[in-house]
Amino acid sequence: MARHVVATVDDIPAGQRMLVKVGGREIGIFNIGGEFFAVSNRCPHEGASLCKGRIVGLVESSEPGSYQFSRRGELLRCPWHGWEFDLRTGKSWCEPDRTKVRSYDLKVEPGGALVEGELQAETFPVVIEKQYVVIEV
Amino acid sequence: MSIVELERSGAARSRLRIIDCDIHPAMTSWTEVHPYLAKQWIDHLSVYGSHLRHAFSEALSHPRMSPDAARVDAYPEEGGPPGSSLELMRTQHLDPNGVETGMLIPLRWNPGSQRNLDFGVALTQAMNTWQVERWVKNEPRLRASVLIAQEDTGASVAEIDARAGDPNFTQILVLPKTDEPFGRRRYWPIFEAAVRSNLPIAIHVGGTNGHPSTGGGWASYYMEEHNTVAETMQAILTSLVFEGVFERFPQLRVVIMEGGLGWIPSLTARMDKHWSRLRSEVPHLKRPPSEYIREQVWFTTQPMEEPGTAAQLIDLFDRIGWDRLLFSTDYPHWDFDDPRYAFRANLSEAQRDQLLYGNAQAFYGLP
């Protein structure tokens, strides 16, 4: 496992996503209202590129005829078969224990901390004043 | 408890070799068939439009899960509906998935479901030529299907005869929402022409005939309606069997497309059971229904069943017959099956090759 600086927080506005490649893996970085999450770009069901899916909320119902919508923008829906994945956990909504997309540890760190550490910021120069998205792969 | 995770190398991907029996090409607009339509019908389209045999003529009977029932990633950058770009079809599907031959199944515009029969017939002729000119001539991996307006039997036979022997076409295509159950005698000239032309009849989910999708009326939800594709296929298969189509046309070959698979053993067992008790009502059936189906009916694999255990999938294939299964992806539709992951069982290399390639190669007589 190594830590990788993959983006600045400014690169991914709230509600947006970015696809990055780290060590041959395609990983999607998602900004949910200022919180960042990283999941594999490969759907665990049949391998679709998850990052091409729609970012959706959670629709639930306490009884027929009654609907609740919550967690706006926190679920990712596969572009093929529509599996819904919780971006916070990687778990699918319908089979949370059995079908989950791999998620990666992610931290937002200031440039100053990175320059002093031994990070693999090989893709771009790190500026002390900025905030960076760092994932562990 | 297992976590499903997929890691595949690029090498494994390039080894694939498949025949995809269900690819849906699309027009960017009606103007694509104008060159193949008489002026009368171009004018008809602009003045009266397309009218299908159900309410809300230009709409589907139920909202599809995604717009255009399509994969979200299948929209061409240059615009147009999914399936309208040959270039995207190549780079997104044919090339990476190792498609050596792909069968075109045009569904939209529904010529067989047009209220105006003469327009429907003209549209089948135009769309058949369109498939060759727009797709097969530009991409030798693709093959066309002979669309027919089945409610006009005479015109259907003429169109089949006109395309017979043309190597661009591999089969006749009918959507199962026919006006009457498809085994009825009014449709028999079509079966006769199919046998004469040595073309199988593909019956692919779809079409509109004004009847509700279920025996219990109109479904409320797309998910509800989506399950009825199996019911519809069961109805059409029982009609073909009990009307005596397979007995009358022993050379006829039928392929049921996208109707699911799990129901097949249960239906054939039930039909055999009833035949053993009620045979005298249909004395024209000489043999148990399952035998006709086993010998004259094939099935495409998508949407692949995903049972709880791999053993159940193997058992299902055993019961249907491994040689009756033709691989299909349904590209570019949302319930697309990826050939790398569709079969959730440890298949031998020979089994996998049979399903992905060999069966279709034999069925369509491909080199």
Residue A30: band (very low, low, confident or very high) from pLDDT cuts 50, 70, 90: very high
Q: A45: closest CA among B232, B6, B29?
A: B6
Residue entry with tokens 């034999």: B362
What is the spatial distance between Cα B182 and Cα B175, in angstroms, rounded to a whole number? 10
Q: What is the pLDDT of residue A2?
A: 85
CB half-sphere exposure, A4, CA atoms < 13 A: 20
Q: Which neighbouring-strand residues pair with B46? A: none
Beta-carbon contacts below 8 Å between A and B: 50
Residues B344 and B338: beta-carbon distance below 8 Å: no
Q: What is the pLDDT of residue B64?
A: 66
Contact flag B73-A42 (C-beta cutoff 8 Å)? no
What is the spatial distance between Cα A8 and Cα A76, in angstroms, rounded to a whole number? 22
Q: Please give the helix or strand (H or E) that residue A62 lies within, else none.
A: strand A54-63
Q: What is the pLDDT of residue B67?
A: 75
Within a 10 A sphere around the Cβ of B194, how many other Cβ atoms? 26
Which one of A25, A43, A80 makes the best mutation probe of the B interface by having the most chain B beta carbons within 10 Å? A80
Sign of the CA dihedral with B303 first, then B131, B71, and A7 last: positive
| CA A74 vs CA A9, A26, A58, A89: distances in Å | 18, 20, 8, 10
Instruction: Say if residue B332 is preceded by a cis peptide, omega within 30 of 0.
Output: yes
In tens, the pLDDT along A64-93 reads 999 999 999 999 999 999 999 999 999 999
Extents of the domains making up chain B: 16-364
SS3 B289: helix
Reported ipTM: 0.82
Residue entry with tokens 């391998």: A47
pLDDT digits (tens), chain B, 367 positions: 333 343 443 444 457 899 999 999 999 999 999 999 999 999 999 999 888 888 776 677 776 666 778 999 999 999 999 999 999 999 999 999 999 999 999 998 889 999 999 999 999 999 999 999 999 999 999 999 999 999 999 999 999 999 999 999 999 999 999 999 999 999 999 999 999 999 999 999 998 888 888 888 888 888 898 899 999 999 999 999 999 999 999 999 999 999 999 999 999 999 999 999 999 999 999 999 999 999 999 999 999 999 989 999 999 999 999 999 999 999 999 999 999 999 999 999 999 999 999 999 999 999 9
Quote the pTM value: 0.91
Phi, psi for residue B68 in degrees, rounded to 5: 65, 15
Q: How far is B221 from chain A (nearest CA, A)?
A: 13
Cβ neighbours of A53 in B, within 8 Å:
72
Q: For residue B188, what are its two tokens? A: 């028999």
Contact flag B73-A98 (C-beta cutoff 8 Å)? no
Q: Please give the helix or strand (H or E) that residue B112 lies within, else none.
A: none
Phi, psi for residue B270 in degrees, rounded to 5: -65, -40
What is the spatial distance between Cα B323 and Cα B357, in angstroms, rounded to a whole number? 11
Residues A75 and A82: beta-carbon distance below 8 Å: no
Q: For residue B149, what are its two tokens? A: 């307006």
Nearest chain B residue to A52 by CA distance is B73
- In sequence order, what E strands does chain B have? 18-23, 99-104, 142-147, 169-174, 201-204, 254-257, 297-300, 325-326
Q: What is the pLDDT of residue B196?
A: 98
Phi, psi for residue B93 in degrees, rounded to 5: -130, -65
Tell me, which fold does domain A3-136 have in CATH? Rieske Iron-sulfur Protein (2.102.10)
Nearest chain A residue to B72 by CA distance is A79
What is the spatial distance between Cα B143 and Cα B241, in angstroms, rounded to a whole number? 29
Residue A118: band (very low, low, confident or very high) from pLDDT cuts 50, 70, 90: low
SS3 A92: strand
Tell me, which fold does domain B16-364 have in CATH? TIM Barrel (3.20.20)
Nearest chain B residue to A48 by CA distance is B338
Q: B119: closest CA among B33, B221, B247?
A: B33
Phi, psi for residue B18 in degrees, rounded to 5: -135, 155
